[in-house]
């Protein structure tokens, strides 16, 4: 009798659990397999996140790497096997070389799965289209100033490129909206830039562009390519005390637009024993002394130049020198993923120009907090490294990820444009 009662009880329990699972009131996994429950989402995409599929146009070398060696007259499109190294003695041209590293990342035949973008050979399978025109190098290579007759070469390259793109059905299909064009020099593509306003532009800031031409909604902010060597082997037991200079700046002090603040800062910061503020032109020698100065300084000053940003900020980051940004209009790379306040200090123009204000704040800055910022710089500095072959989460992969973030908005704009009769009706309300 007891055996029958026990069997009936066991049967009832099994029946109850089975029914509960079927109707969803009991999650058996949470009892027996707790590790199978959903985990917190990582701030970075996981390895399973598919890379961006990019179609890259095949252009003659005069549009890109041919500018690195104009003695080589070969115009066949460059491949991974013919990809040239970036010249060692290129000076400041290197800071605008984002276009080179982005193109190289698509050519490289990677064997790992850490890439955020891969090249596809069929444009029908592409998420985005890359235009491999070195617009910044073209500006830097063809003519010393805007009135130099040699700039006509740059002009003609832009005319040829726009003719080529306008005949592409993929450019026509989206009016260039899903096309990626690097333009990190403020004068890049200067002759025909209004014809590529709709494209995803890779820029370093928006200092000279109206909103209709370039804006955060569709464009990607890139870091300058740093020109000083990265501080790889910094192992001081006390990094704060091993950097005797409080604040460091070395560079041109006479600049246009908001860059006029550099002259004013030279007067404000004069006379402090622990502040190094030096007027200097960019030469191979000055780049080396700047690197040494940043590595021996706690804070590195980044005032606005001709535009709100400059290479100096990223030189400071790879030197593990806490950046001090003086700019009211700067935009920063990867800011949807990186919180700059964790390793950077910010001063407005008004604050920086108050005599003694900025130096007093830096002298009072707690050592413990500085060391935390220094550790953060060491943690994130690899995101600002441009290299070939590219490595996981380096600068070029971070940029491709930013392009991927822009695509939903791009697709929305493309789809709406195909049915709207009045494209900007919502702006007229």
User: Could you tell me which of 74, 116, 111 has the C-alpha nearest to residue 393?
Assistant: 116
Q: What is the distance between the alpha carbons of residues 184 and 186, in angstroms, rounded to a whole number? A: 6
Q: Which residues contact 146 (CB under 8 A, 6 or more apart)?
A: 187, 190
- Can you read off the two tokens belonging to residue 53? 């599929």
Q: How far apart are the first and last CA of the chain?
A: 83
Q: Tell whether omega for the bond before 389 is within 30 degrees of 0, i.e. cis.
A: yes
Helix (H, G, I), strand (E, B) or coil at 34: helix
Question: Do residues 160 and 60 make contact, with C-beta atoms less than 8 angstroms apart?
Answer: no
- The secondary structure of residue 228, as a DSSP letter, is S
- Can you read off the two tokens belonging to residue 168? 């592409």
Question: Do residues 179 and 123 make contact, with C-beta atoms less than 8 angstroms apart?
Answer: no
Question: Do residues 281 and 252 make contact, with C-beta atoms less than 8 angstroms apart?
Answer: yes
- The secondary structure of residue 277, as a DSSP letter, is E
pLDDT at residue 90 in the model: 84
Alpha helices by DSSP H, listed for 299-385, are: 312-318, 349-352, 357-363, 367-380
Question: Do residues 94 and 86 make contact, with C-beta atoms less than 8 angstroms apart?
Answer: yes
- The secondary structure of residue 134, as a DSSP letter, is -
Question: Do residues 96 and 205 make contact, with C-beta atoms less than 8 angstroms apart?
Answer: no
- The secondary structure element, H or E, covering residue 118 is strand 117-119
- Ranges of beta strands (E only) in 252-352 are 275-279, 297-303, 322-326, 345-347
- The secondary structure of residue 87, as a DSSP letter, is P
Question: Do residues 130 and 55 make contact, with C-beta atoms less than 8 angstroms apart?
Answer: yes
pLDDT at residue 284 in the model: 87
- The secondary structure element, H or E, covering residue 202 is strand 200-203
Taking 3-state DSSP, the helix, strand and coil percentages for the chain, each rounded to the nearest 5, stand at 40, 10, 45
Question: Do residues 269 and 275 make contact, with C-beta atoms less than 8 angstroms apart?
Answer: yes
User: pLDDT truncated to tens, each residue of the chain (429 aa)?
Assistant: 555 555 555 656 555 555 554 444 444 444 433 433 444 333 444 445 899 999 999 999 999 999 999 888 889 999 999 999 999 888 889 999 999 999 999 999 876 667 999 999 999 999 999 999 999 999 999 976 777 888 999 999 999 999 999 999 999 999 999 999 999 998 999 999 999 999 999 999 887 777 777 889 999 999 999 999 999 988 889 999 999 999 999 988 765 555 578 889 999 999 999 999 999 888 889 999 999 999 999 999 999 877 788 899 999 999 999 999 998 889 999 999 999 999 999 999 999 999 999 999 999 999 999 999 999 999 999 999 999 999 999 999 999 999 999 999 999 988 988 888 776 655 555
Question: Do residues 329 and 221 make contact, with C-beta atoms less than 8 angstroms apart?
Answer: no
In which region does residue 324 sit, left (phi positive, over 0), alpha (psi from -120 to 50) or beta (all else)? beta
pLDDT at residue 150 in the model: 84
User: Could you tell me which of 88, 92, 89 has the C-alpha nearest to residue 312?
Assistant: 92
- The secondary structure of residue 131, as a DSSP letter, is -
How far, rounded to the nearest angstrom, does the alpha carbon of residue 400 sit from its chain's CA centroid?
9
pLDDT at residue 424 in the model: 67
- Can you read off the two tokens belonging to residue 368? 């413990």
- The secondary structure element, H or E, covering residue 292 is helix 284-295
Q: What is the distance between the alpha carbons of residues 56 and 182, in angstroms, rounded to a whole number? A: 13
Half-sphere exposure of 294 (CA within 13 A, CB side): 32
Question: Do residues 403 and 331 make contact, with C-beta atoms less than 8 angstroms apart?
Answer: no
- The secondary structure of residue 229, as a DSSP letter, is P
Question: Do residues 336 and 310 make contact, with C-beta atoms less than 8 angstroms apart?
Answer: no
Q: Which residues contact 190 (CB under 8 A, 6 or more apart)?
A: 139, 146
pLDDT at residue 76 in the model: 95
State pTM to two decimals: 0.85
């Amino acid at each position: 009798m007891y055996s029958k009662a026990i069997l009936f009880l066991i049967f009832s329990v099994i029946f109850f659990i089975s029914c509960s699972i079927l109707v969803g009131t009991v999650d058996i996994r949470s009892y027996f397999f707790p590790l199978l429950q959903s985990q917190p989402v990582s701030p970075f995409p996981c390895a399973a996140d598919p890379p961006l599929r990019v179609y890259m146009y095949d252009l003659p070398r005069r549009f890109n790497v041919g500018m690195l060696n104009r003695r080589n007259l070969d115009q066949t499109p460059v491949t991974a096997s013919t990809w040239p190294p970036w010249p060692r003695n290129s000076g400041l041209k290197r800071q605008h070389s984002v276009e080179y590293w982005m193109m190289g990342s698509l050519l490289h035949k990677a064997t790992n799965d850490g890439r955020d973008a891969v090249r596809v050979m069929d444009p029908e399978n592409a998420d985005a289209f890359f235009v491999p025109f070195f617009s910044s190098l073209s500006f830097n290579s063809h003519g010393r100033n805007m009135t130099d007759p040699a700039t006509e070469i740059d002009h003609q390259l832009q005319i040829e490129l726009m003719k080529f793109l306008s005949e592409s059905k993929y450019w026509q299909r989206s009016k260039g909206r899903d096309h990626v064009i690097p333009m990190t020099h403020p004068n890049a593509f200067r002759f025909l830039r209004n014809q590529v306003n709709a494209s995803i532009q890779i820029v370093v800031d928006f200092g000279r562009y109206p909103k209709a031409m370039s804006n955060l909604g569709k464009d990607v902010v890139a870091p300058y390519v740093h020109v000083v060597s990265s501080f790889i082997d910094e192992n001081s037991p006390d990094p704060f005390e091993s950097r005797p200079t409080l604040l460091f700046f070395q560079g041109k002090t006479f600049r246009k637009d908001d860059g006029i603040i550099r002259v004013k800062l030279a007067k404000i910061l004069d006379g402090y024993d622990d502040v190094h503020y030096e007027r200097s032109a960019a030469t191979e020698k000055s780049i080396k002394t700047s690197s040494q100065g940043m590595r021996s300084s706690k804070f590195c000053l980044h005032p606005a130049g001709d535009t709100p940003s400059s290479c100096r900020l990223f030189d400071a980051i790879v030197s593990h020198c806490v950046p001090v940004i003086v700019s009211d209009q700067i935009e920063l790379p990867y800011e949807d993923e990186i919180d700059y306040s964790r390793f950077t200090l910010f001063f407005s123009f008004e604050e920086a120009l108050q005599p003694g204000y900025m130096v007093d704040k830096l002298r009072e800055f707690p050592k413990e907090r500085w060391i935390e910022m220094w550790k953060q710089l060491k943690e994130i500095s690899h995101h600002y490294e441009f290299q070939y072959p590219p490595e996981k989460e380096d600068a070029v992969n971070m940029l491709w990820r930013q392009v991927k973030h822009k695509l939903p908005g791009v697709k929305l704009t493309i789809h709406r444009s195909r049915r709207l009769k009045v494209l900007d009706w919502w702006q007229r309300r």
